[in-house]
Amino acid sequence: MLKLQRVTVLPLALCFLFLRREMISSYAAVQEHIISSTSTSSTISSTTAGGNKSQLRKSKSYLDKNKVTKMTQDNKKQINSKDGGFVDTSSDEATRINDDAKSAKNEKVEINKGITSSAYTESPPSASSTTNEDSSKHRSLQSWAYENISSTGTNLGICQGDCDSDNDCMDNLKCWQRNRGDAGPSQCTGEAFSWYDYCYDPDAPTGYFANLHIDEIFIITTHNSLALPGQVFSPNQNHGLATQFDDGIRGFNFDLYMDDDGESINTSHGGGDWNYNPKDQIDDLISKLDDNKNEFIIIQLQSNLNDNGNELLSSWFDSRLVKNFDSSVVLGEYLKKGQQVLIVTDSNPNPRIGIHRTQSIISENDYSWTSRYSTPPMGHRRGPTHPNYGVRFMRNMNYFSSLTGTGDMVASYVVHDVGRALGNIREFESQDYTGGRVNTLMVDYYRQGDSAKGQYEIFMVQDVMRKAGSNGFELGQECKYTWDDLCKGDLECGKTSKWDDTYICCEDTIVPFGWTTDLCVQQNEGDLCGTTEDAECAGSLECGKKNMNDDTYVCCDETFVPLGWTTDVCAQELQEGDKCPSTRDVDCTGSLECGKRSRSDSTYVCCKDTYVPFGWTTDVCKQELQEGDKCPSTRDADCAGSLECGKRSKSDGTYICCKDTYVPFFWFTDVCR
């Protein structure tokens, strides 16, 4: 009976496997047809297509066949779900997002052709068991993990090793020769294997944006970036786009409208007849981008542009514009292609020409904030919510306050305060729809606020957000702009020491006499205290010279002022035999005392006991001399135990330790028996 069942099941299993293989083959053919029919690049040859399909199957990215198909399905789910990611659930918007997803899929295929994923392994595989057939120099940045091919590798791709020279690397890649302690190329992630050298791309993007996704960055965005004094009725900024870029702004917000002729673009804010053509401003911004190829900007449109307007705006940015943006791709991939600008709009999007839908990429809070001293409104205005089916998106915090709805410089000064801004950001991050993240702060009059070391306050917020997060810098981390608000909790920002101008977050600070800056209080015994003030040392610690022969000031448990001195010296914890130049018993551990080593040696050392020889004024250490040892002090106490000190004989005046002594008739000194 059992044998019969096995015989019956086997053909069924074989049939199932055959059908499954046919389904996979059909599916692959459909996918190949989609890729070849929608790609903007030249037709893929059958050989190349087959190779790409093989690589796609191995990729860990969204190019996995199931995940590529699932992107469109997930976007549909977001539209139809009661608590999905987008506010607008109309059928038109659903169609629009579906089109965006298809365009994104096509662009993703365009960007990531030939991707191979690589994982770091603890030990390198042997050359005999490993091939490099699937390797490619075009691996996307997010896949640039160290990959160990073999110790005699050739034709190696990015972050693959081991290479011995550039000849071992593909095309224009170079071999990074690692020295001891060298982590390897910055474009590679993970941990390099032991002595291996790795190939890298010398032309790969560098800088802040190179290896980050859109939901991993933090930038400052100017609200109504083109609303400038003398140009519009109600300004929100004081400086043009080029100056904003130079100062560090990487997010821009444009109000754009079609001119009366229906062909050209203008910008305005606040109504009236105050408007102008923004082309010159945008050209200035483009010029800055051309000079800074590793920089990436995001432009959020409040737009009434028609199709002609979108085409015109797209033509201004030309090849610098990201088209069919894919949030799963790191920004460095776009920078490699010279694409530095991502545009999103709240109306009439067209991803194929680089005008994307805001609600698909950016989530944000409400923006009506009238009381500058209150917390900004935290209600969800629009955009995806967290979680968003694994799709990455930006979180924009609207952070401009105005009682009247117009730009308010006084309010901007107040809300840009570092401590206030970080506190409000923490509140924003606590909202469910943010998933604990914020990627951009949209502000009016970004230069308003205090400054330190030539930096505006709002960029101090950017610095701490990029390096530490909204809680602030941790203990020991650098706080180069010197403000306590940059540090976490009750930590304070001060100079590391008198000799080091580096500012770090520490537990407590003081302003030494004659100083105008804070200095970190030293917490541990032995820490340097260059000011010589006890206040520089924490708690009951005192500041003094390390010892009488060392002018280095350190924090110690106790100090004293030696006779004739005017400065403090740390009391020592010296052991028996250690030198104690202070001559003070307190410098010696426990019951040890400080005295001259002997009557003939003026070196002061710690010893078990001391005495003051007849006619002397200083202490001398009692000796622990054995039988036969010389005892020039003539004192019995210098001899160990019950031994006594006396002349060796009546004819030898050398004093030694012996078992017993006597005083000969008419003598006044002891003689050994």
Q: What is the DSSP string of 338-395?
A: T--EEEEESSS-BGGGTEEEHHHHEEEE------TTSPPP-SEEES--SS-TT---EE
Quick check: 613 pLDDT over 60? yes
Quick check: 10 pLDDT over 60? no
Token reading at 547? 């010892």
Are the beta carbons of 87 and 357 closer than 8 angstroms? no
Choose the weakest-confidence range: 167-181, 291-305, 445-459, 511-525. Answer: 167-181
Band of pLDDT at residue 553, cut at 50, 70 and 90: very high
Are the beta carbons of 658 and 634 closer than 8 angstroms? no
Per-residue model confidence (pLDDT) at position 584? 81
Q: Taking the CA of residue 320 as centre, how many other CA atoms within 13 Å lie in the half-sphere pointing to its CB?
A: 24
CA 227 to CA 241: how far, in whole Å? 10
Per-residue model confidence (pLDDT) at position 458? 98
Per-residue pLDDT, averaged over 619-634, amounts to 84
Non-local CB neighbours of 281 within 8 Å, separated by 6+ positions: 226, 240, 241, 242
Q: Strands 652-658, 394-398: parallel, antiparallel or unpaired by DSSP?
A: unpaired
Per-residue pLDDT, averaged over 488-499, amounts to 94
CA 534 to CA 358: how far, in whole Å? 59
Quick check: 64 pLDDT over 60? no
Q: In the β-sheet with 661-662, what is the strand arrangement from edge to edge?
A: 652-658, 644-649, 671-672, 661-662
Non-local CB neighbours of 612 within 8 Å, separated by 6+ positions: 618, 619, 620
Mean pLDDT of the chain: 81
Per-residue pLDDT, averaged over 457-464, amounts to 98
State how far Cα 164 lies from the chain centre. 32
Instruction: Give the residue range(s) of CATH 3.20.20.190 domains in the chain.
Output: 219-467
CB contact burial 624-639 (16+ within 10 A = b; e otherwise): ebeeebebebebeebb
Per-residue pLDDT, averaged over 198-209, amounts to 90
Quick check: 605 pLDDT over 80? yes
pTM of the model: 0.67
pLDDT digits (tens, 9 = 90+) for 211-258: 999 999 999 999 999 999 999 999 999 999 999 999 999 999 999 999
State how far Cα 7 lies from the chain centre. 62
Token reading at 172? 């224009």
Quick check: 115 pLDDT over 60? no
Query: Residue 95: in which H helix or E strand, if any?
Result: helix 91-111
Per-residue pLDDT, averaged over 512-518, amounts to 92
Token reading at 477? 């981390």
Choose the weakest-confidence range: 238-242, 585-589, 669-673. Answer: 585-589
Choose the weakest-confidence range: 312-316, 351-355, 390-394, 402-406. Answer: 402-406
Per-residue model confidence (pLDDT) at position 560? 87
Token reading at 375? 């917390």
Per-residue model confidence (pLDDT) at position 114? 33
Are the beta carbons of 641 and 627 closer than 8 angstroms? no
Are the beta carbons of 59 and 115 closer than 8 angstroms? yes
Per-residue model confidence (pLDDT) at position 572? 74
Per-residue model confidence (pLDDT) at position 31? 40
Q: Could you count the other beta carbons within 10 Å of the beta carbon of residue 122?
A: 8
CA angle at 206 for the pair 165 and 159, rounded to the nearest 5°: 35
Class of domain 219-467: alpha beta
Quick check: 136 pLDDT over 50? no
Strand, helix or coil at 644?
Answer: strand
Per-residue model confidence (pLDDT) at position 125? 38
Nearest to 56 by CA among 108, 94, 93: 108
Q: What backbone torsions phi and psi does residue 34 show, to the nearest 5 degrees? A: -60, -45
Per-residue model confidence (pLDDT) at position 30? 38
> Is the preceding peptide bond at 11 cis, omega within 30 degrees of 0?
no
Quick check: 53 pLDDT over 90? no
Strand, helix or coil at 148?
Answer: strand
Per-residue pLDDT, averaged over 446-472, amounts to 96
Between these two residues, 190 and 205, which has the higher pLDDT value? 205
Site of tokens 């015994």? 525
Between these two residues, 158 and 400, which has the higher pLDDT value? 400
Band of pLDDT at residue 144, cut at 50, 70 and 90: low
**DSSP letters for 269-297:** SSSTT-EE-THHHHHHHHHHHHH-TT--E
